[in-house]
């Protein structure tokens, strides 16, 4: 806590705007403390009504600090003592007004000693806060040095905090803590919103990816392709196809073994005879854990070329027949189901 002369010399360095803010800050702070403490006391001592009733209706209407030249200002307590700082209270019921110093509260009103004590403590708290502000001004306080998370552009500051900043007044520790919480809350909300958005987008993309490319092309206007595709696939039985044995080891494919097996599985269970390279890519990505990275340039999955190579081999083996070829995709008819020679050998043993 500062001494009175330290306080005065610091106050002296402030701009008019800052001085005015401090005066207002003190009046408001003390008034709020006073009415809160009276209200609290009123609530706690509700049982003993009657005589104390007027005591609970005091209101602090002003707080005056006459400054360093106070002896000339002529402020006085009820008892005649000269004052630098004068509190003026008024009774809402009787209309009586009293003017006195901090320590004569109880002497000149009918409030209880306990209440008087807590009111004095409340006033001191506001004095401490003014000191905190003055010391921070002396230290060249800035918001940047509070190590706050970066403040979102669209965040609205709490009113009291905005008032401090607008008037070039440092924030109190309690305000900094509140601001930190507010920013965190704001960032968390934003993160949650973005996550929800990402999740919706993923779900949407997944829904699209689940549909073979041919369906997308023919059903662009479909509102919910996911539902359609699910239903469509569930209703359609797998066509009865001959099984062809293929030696995949000889093919020297770039696709990993597990995904080669997966492609066979996809083709064998495909509900229609038309299939495409892209459709297989998305099946691999969605259901077999294949890499979902995309080429930014042509919006194709990075696994596309590896899958395409296997499709070419399957055409050579007579499993598939190429029906349409473009830069974006290749479409095939499924001529037969396919199994690996390895599987056949395993079955033999
Ligand atoms: Zn007095």
Residue that wins the pLDDT comparison between 147 and 69: 69
Query: pLDDT at residue 331 above 60?
Result: yes
Residue that wins the pLDDT comparison between 186 and 299: 186
Distance of CA 100 from the midpoint of ligand 1 (Å): 6
Q: Mean pLDDT, to the nearest integer, of 323-349?
A: 82
Q: Mean pLDDT, to the nearest integer, of 150-161?
A: 87
Distance of CA 123 from the midpoint of ligand 1 (Å): 17
Winning range, highest mean pLDDT, from 43-47, 210-214, 269-273: 269-273
Radius of gyration over alpha carbons of the chain, in Å? Answer: 40
Assign 319 a pLDDT band (cuts: 50, 70, 90).
Answer: very high
CA–centroid distance for 306 within its chain = 41
Distance of CA 89 from the midpoint of ligand 1 (Å): 13
- Distance between CA 290 and CA 280 in Å, rounded? 11
Distance of CA 34 from the midpoint of ligand 1 (Å): 18
Query: Please, which residues bridge with residue 324 across strands?
Result: 331
pLDDT at 167: 94
- Distance between CA 184 and CA 149 in Å, rounded? 8
Query: pLDDT at residue 338 above 80?
Result: yes
* Ordered structural domains, the chain, with CATH: 4-140 (no CATH), 238-348 (1.10.10.10)
Residue that wins the pLDDT comparison between 297 and 189: 189
Query: pLDDT at residue 297 above 50?
Result: yes
pLDDT at 231: 42
Which residue in the block uniquely carries the two structure tokens 């609970």? 56
Distance of CA 82 from the midpoint of ligand 1 (Å): 9
Distance of CA 76 from the midpoint of ligand 1 (Å): 8
Distance of CA 26 from the midpoint of ligand 1 (Å): 21
Query: pLDDT at residue 283 above 60?
Result: yes
Tokens of 293: 């990275």
- Distance between CA 316 and CA 50 in Å, rounded? 104
pTM of the complete model: 0.56
Distance of CA 176 from the midpoint of ligand 1 (Å): 38
pLDDT at 195: 86
Assign 236 a pLDDT band (cuts: 50, 70, 90).
Answer: low
Query: pLDDT at residue 336 above 70?
Result: yes
Residue that wins the pLDDT comparison between 250 and 318: 318
Distance of CA 31 from the midpoint of ligand 1 (Å): 20
Distance of CA 113 from the midpoint of ligand 1 (Å): 15
pLDDT at 194: 87
Assign 221 a pLDDT band (cuts: 50, 70, 90).
Answer: very low
Distance of CA 107 from the midpoint of ligand 1 (Å): 7
Distance of CA 83 from the midpoint of ligand 1 (Å): 9
Distance of CA 277 from the midpoint of ligand 1 (Å): 95
Query: pLDDT at residue 229 above 50?
Result: no
Q: Which of 64-78, 180-194, 209-223, 267-281 has the lowest mean pLDDT?
A: 209-223
Q: Are 206 and 323 in contact (CB under 8 A)?
A: no
Distance of CA 81 from the midpoint of ligand 1 (Å): 6
Query: pLDDT at residue 93 above 80?
Result: yes
pLDDT at 226: 47
Distance of CA 173 from the midpoint of ligand 1 (Å): 34
DSSP per-residue letters across 206-271: HHHHHS-HHHHHHTTT-S-HHHHHHHHHHHSPPPP--EEEE-GGGG--SS-HHHHHHHHHHHHH-S
Assign 233 a pLDDT band (cuts: 50, 70, 90).
Answer: very low
Q: Which of 42-51, 86-95, 126-135, 216-225 has the lowest mean pLDDT?
A: 216-225
Assign 230 a pLDDT band (cuts: 50, 70, 90).
Answer: very low
Assign 108 a pLDDT band (cuts: 50, 70, 90).
Answer: confident
Assign 208 a pLDDT band (cuts: 50, 70, 90).
Answer: confident
Distance of CA 11 from the midpoint of ligand 1 (Å): 27
Q: What percent of the chain has pLDDT over 90?
A: 49
> Considering the chain, what is the average pLDDT of its residues?
85
Distance of CA 74 from the midpoint of ligand 1 (Å): 14
Tokens of 320: 């598939």
Distance of CA 42 from the midpoint of ligand 1 (Å): 25
Which residues have CB under 8 Å from 171's CB, separation 6+? 141, 143, 146, 161, 164, 165, 179
pLDDT at 64: 95
Q: Mean pLDDT, to the nearest integer, of 165-183?
A: 93
Distance of CA 260 from the midpoint of ligand 1 (Å): 96
Which residues have CB under 8 Å from 263's CB, separation 6+? 255, 280, 284, 307, 310
Distance of CA 88 from the midpoint of ligand 1 (Å): 12
Q: Are 50 and 25 in contact (CB under 8 A)?
A: no
Distance of CA 99 from the midpoint of ligand 1 (Å): 9
């Amino acid at each position: 806590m500062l001494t009175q002369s330290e306080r005065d010399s610091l106050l002296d360095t402030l701009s008019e705007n800052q001085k005015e803010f401090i005066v207002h800050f003190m009046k408001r702070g003390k008034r709020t403390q006073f009415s809160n403490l009276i209200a609290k006391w009123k609530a706690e001592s509700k049982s003993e009504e009657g005589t104390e009733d007027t005591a609970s209706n005091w209101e602090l209407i002003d707080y005056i600090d006459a400054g360093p030249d106070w002896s000339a200002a002529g402020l006085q307590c009820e008892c005649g003592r000269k004052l630098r700082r004068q509190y003026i209270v008024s009774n809402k019921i009787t209309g009586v007004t009293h003017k006195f110093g901090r320590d004569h509260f109880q002497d000149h009103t009918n409030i209880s000693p306990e209440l008087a004590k807590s009111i004095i403590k409340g006033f001191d708290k506001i004095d401490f806060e003014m000191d905190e502000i003055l010391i921070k001004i002396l230290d060249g306080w800035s918001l940047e040095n509070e190590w706050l998370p970066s403040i979102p552009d669209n965040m609205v500051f709490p009113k009291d905090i905005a008032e401090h900043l607008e008037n070039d007044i440092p924030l109190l520790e309690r305000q900094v803590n509140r601001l930190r919480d507010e920013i965190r809350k704001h960032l968390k909300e934003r993160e949650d919103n973005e996550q929800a958005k990402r999740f919706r987008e993923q779900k949407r993309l997944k829904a699209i990816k689940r549909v073979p490319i041919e369906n997308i092309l023919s059903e662009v206007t479909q509102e919910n392709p996911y539902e359609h595709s699910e239903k469509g696939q569930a209703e359609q039985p797998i066509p009865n196809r001959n099984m062809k044995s293929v030696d995949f080891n000889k093919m020297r494919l770039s696709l990993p073994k597990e995904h080669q097996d997966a492609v066979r599985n996809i083709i064998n269970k495909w509900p229609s005879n038309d299939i495409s390279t892209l459709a297989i890519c998305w099946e691999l990505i969605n259901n077999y854990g294949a890499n979902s990275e995309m080429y930014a340039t042509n919006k194709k999955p990075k696994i596309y070329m590896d899958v395409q190579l296997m499709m070419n081999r399957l055409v050579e083996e007579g499993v598939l027949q190429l029906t349409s070829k473009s830069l974006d995709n290749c479409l095939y008819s499924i001529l037969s189901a396919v199994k690996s020679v390895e599987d056949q050998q395993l079955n033999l043993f």
